[in-house]
Amino acid sequence: MSNDVIRDIGEQGVLKRLQRFCPSDIVGDDAAIMPNPEPGQLLVVTTDVLVDGIHFSDRTTSAEDVGWRAVAANLSDLAAMGSSPLGITVGLSLPGDVAVSWVERLYQGMSECLQPYNTPIVGGDVCQSPVITVSITAFGQVLPQRVMRRSNAKVGDAIVVTGVHGGSRVGLELLLNPEFGKDLNEKERSRLIQAHQRPKPRLDILPQLWDSLASQSPIPLTAMDSSDGLADAIAQICRASGVGAVVERDAIPIPSVLPQLTSPEQVWDWVLYGGEDFELVLCLSEPLAQVFVEKFAAGSAIIGYITSGRSVCLRDSTGKYADELLTLSRGFQHF
Amino acid sequence: MSNDVIRDIGEQGVLKRLQRFCPSDIVGDDAAIMPNPEPGQLLVVTTDVLVDGIHFSDRTTSAEDVGWRAVAANLSDLAAMGSSPLGITVGLSLPGDVAVSWVERLYQGMSECLQPYNTPIVGGDVCQSPVITVSITAFGQVLPQRVMRRSNAKVGDAIVVTGVHGGSRVGLELLLNPEFGKDLNEKERSRLIQAHQRPKPRLDILPQLWDSLASQSPIPLTAMDSSDGLADAIAQICRASGVGAVVERDAIPIPSVLPQLTSPEQVWDWVLYGGEDFELVLCLSEPLAQVFVEKFAAGSAIIGYITSGRSVCLRDSTGKYADELLTLSRGFQHF
């Protein structure tokens, strides 16, 4: 890779460099012909925007990681709808003094995240801006009976998480603060940093969920991803469904090394409000939840139940903590 | 409308205000269920990014016009593929001190441009940024035999434009320069300013084109929109198709008042390289082009022919101008 910056090669030059990341039969026109949803499947679409200095920073995120995370955020939204990906478009705006290699590494990271799902970058736009902004739109497909919505939770449903929370926020702290977590061994450290830099969208969970459901009559499914924090996801589901929840603190899976790294207050703040773990929060009938957690989805757990009323209460059966109400407002909010 | 800025109402507040511009059954989840393409139709997708200070400015563009133009650019790309719109998503990043009313007026302008096509805003993302950036992704559908590509032009094809070029650039000049065009009457002035502020995507042309084609056996169609300039569109088509072109200067439709407003050099620079007229440039067999221009598409014209070789030559049958080669590089290029 050379030391060229974007200004040296211009718009046409950038587009030419980026074409190798896209299927050659798709790009090069005013618009792209996309893979159609298969017969009987619904088309699903989601958009996420990442801004330099707001969502990522050179201190903690390489170009590859920015690309990976931008794609992961979108694929996670598709997973939360129960859908599998068909393709993405990329709207990229950036200053002329950005290195060409940075942009190529950005696309490299996007491609790596897309690769396991055979999902193409089908098009996009590149333009000038004072600040690097990556806007990704992802398309997926889902069978109508498998659509998952935030608004379908029912009183008595078990609340299931598909993995640990807090890992991404701890990984970020390890990158920001050299004094933090000095006693961690290399494997633990790198696992937590990976959780921040290379989060995996939980598309792998969907076939397992459908297997758990196979013997059931179809019911409307409930899910949201935890990109804005676990507490936010539960609170959003409850608001959209007009219900409340009780969550058991002890039941929430967290990284095993987390309690020894910082104060209990910090631990729970990161677990509940840290965000960007990109797990799914599902509400399932109790028997279905048991089957799903025990037989199919290793690492997942039932963390609570949907209740009537509207409050989301975090309980502690060990008596160490007082009951706490979870709210939307403590999660990450722009502006 | 109040004097609130975005920071006063926060991310959730913005999303709430913008929901009235979106169908209520579609928004509010991690992703949106889109209208599927109809059976037999292909899915088409395009993305355009507009950045404050690069693509628009407060001096010449109201919030409504920014919204209108952002949507028009995307719908124009869909039209150039031969496709009709199904929906759009909006990725919006903006500073916290932007007025809430500005954002509402942006969405108002987008809705106005979408309204004739019954096309919904199906979702999006709002986040913080130092600079206003509007990233729109539009979806459309097209029957396989109606797909128009840049790469299908054949030697002997007639080059057709669907309307006048230069109007948008003149309109911009009227807005920027109070001394310019002082002798224009109000109707002429406002028509040119409209050409800049409210360009119409030429989706209306498609049914007329298909009518012209009705008696023909299906052939691959060629089109590109002239958003980056008329010269750029012709040159891009020629490059993608591996052909050349001869264009007759006299045959290019321009705003009738344009020659009296400025120097001939300026006139032709604006007509050929001004951009943002959002007309379509089509390459059609001679007989088809004749039928299309005479019977169906008022305001359209045959401006030249596709040739073997690779150069794009602008000719002048009146002998007033020397022959000129049209190139990609003089059109608007980012960076």
Question: Confidence band (pLDDT; 50, 70, 90) for A35?
Answer: confident
A55 is in an annotated binding site: yes
Amino acid B61: pLDDT: 86
The nearest CA of chain A is from the CA of B139 a distance in Å of: 9
Flag if B31 and A81 touch (Cβ within 8 Å): yes
Is residue A98 a contact partner of residue A66, using CB atoms and an 8 Å limit? no
Residue B327, CA distances (Å) to A71, A272, B244, B305, B311 in order: 36, 57, 11, 16, 9
Please list, in sequence order, all residues whose beta carbon lies within 8 angstroms of the beta carbon of residue B188, skipping any fewer than 6 positions away: B257
- What per-residue confidence (pLDDT) applies to A317? 85
A276 is in an annotated binding site: yes
pLDDT of residue B165: 97
Q: Kindly report the average pLDDT of chain B as a whole number.
A: 92
Shortest CA gap B284–chain A (Å): 17
- Reply yes or no on whether the pLDDT at A226 is more than 60: yes
Which pLDDT score, from 0 to 100, does residue B317 have? Answer: 85
Check CB contact of B97 with chain A, cutoff 8 Å: no
Partner residue facing B54 (CB), from A48, A90, A128: A128
pLDDT recorded at residue A327? 78
The stretch A4-20 carries a mean pLDDT of 87
Angstroms from B240 CA to nearest CA on chain A: 8
pLDDT for B328 beyond 80: no
Selected residue with higher pLDDT from A23 and B163: B163
Nearest CA in chain B to A152: B29
Q: If you measure CA to CA, which chain B residue comes closest to A334? A: B11
Q: Residue A166: exposed, middle, or buried by beta-carbon count in 10 A (0-12, 13-18, 19+)?
A: buried
Find the range with the poorest average confidence among A127-136, B20-29, B53-62, B101-110: B20-29
- pLDDT of residue B37 exceeding 60: yes
Q: Domains in chain A, please, with CATH?
A: 6-144 (3.30.1330.10), 147-325 (3.90.650.10)
Interface probe with A: pick from B41, B46, B47, most Cβ of A within 10 Å? B47
pLDDT in tens, A293-315: 998 888 999 999 999 989 999 99
Q: What count of other Cβ atoms lies within 10 Å of the Cβ of residue A286? A: 12
Closest CA to B104 of B11, B197, B19, B10: B19
Quick: pLDDT tens for B95-134.
999 999 999 999 999 999 999 999 999 988 899 999 999 9
- CB of A26 less than 8 A from some CB of B: no
Q: Residue B335: is its pLDDT beyond 90?
A: no
Q: Do A149 and B29 touch (CB under 8 A)?
A: yes
The verdict on a CB contact (< 8 Å) between B51 and A333 is no
Q: Are A141 and A56 in contact (CB under 8 A)?
A: no
Annotated binding site of B for substrate: 55, 276, 332
Query: Percent of chain B at pLDDT above 90?
Result: 76
Residues of chain B found within 8 Å of residue A93, distances taken between Cβ atoms: 49, 51, 133, 135
Average pLDDT on A71-87 reads 96
Residue numbers in the known binding site of B are 30, 46-48, 55, 77, 107, 124-125, 150, 225, 227-228, 276, 332
* Euclidean distance between CA atoms B94 and B130, whole angstroms: 6
Burial of B263 from C-beta contacts in 10 A (0-12 / 13-18 / 19+): exposed
For residue A292, pLDDT over 60 is answered with yes
**Matching residue, tokens 């109508």:** A144
Task: Find the CB nearest A125 among B47, B89, B224.
Answer: B47
Gap between the Cα atoms of A96 and B277, Å rounded: 26
pLDDT at B16: 85
Of A34, A76, A133, the CB nearest to B45: A34
Residue A331 has pLDDT above 60, yes or no: no
| Cβ–Cβ below 8 Å for B49 and A91 | yes
Assess: ipTM above 0.85: yes
Instruction: Give the model confidence (pLDDT) of A139-165 as tens digits.
Output: 999 999 999 999 999 999 999 999 999
In this structure, what token pair is assigned to residue B177? 């320069």
Q: Do B122 and A83 touch (CB under 8 A)?
A: no
In this predicted model, what pLDDT tens digit does every residue of A232-270 receive, in sequence order?
A: 999 999 999 999 999 999 999 999 999 999 999 999 999
Distance from B190 to chain A by nearest Cα, in Å? 29
**Strands of the A221-225 sheet, one edge to the other:** A148-149, A221-225, A280-284, A158-161, A301-307, A244-248, A312-315, A324-325
Tokens of A6: 């974007």
pLDDT tens for B192-224 read: 999 999 999 999 999 999 988 887 777 889 999
Say if A173 is an interface residue toward chain B (CB within 8 Å): no
Q: Span B225-235, mean pLDDT? A: 95
Note which residues in 251-270 of chain A have CB less than 8 A from chain B: none
Residues A128, B47: C-beta atoms closer than 8 Å? no
pLDDT at A330: 62
Chain B CA closest to residue A77: B30
Average pLDDT over residues B302-308: 98
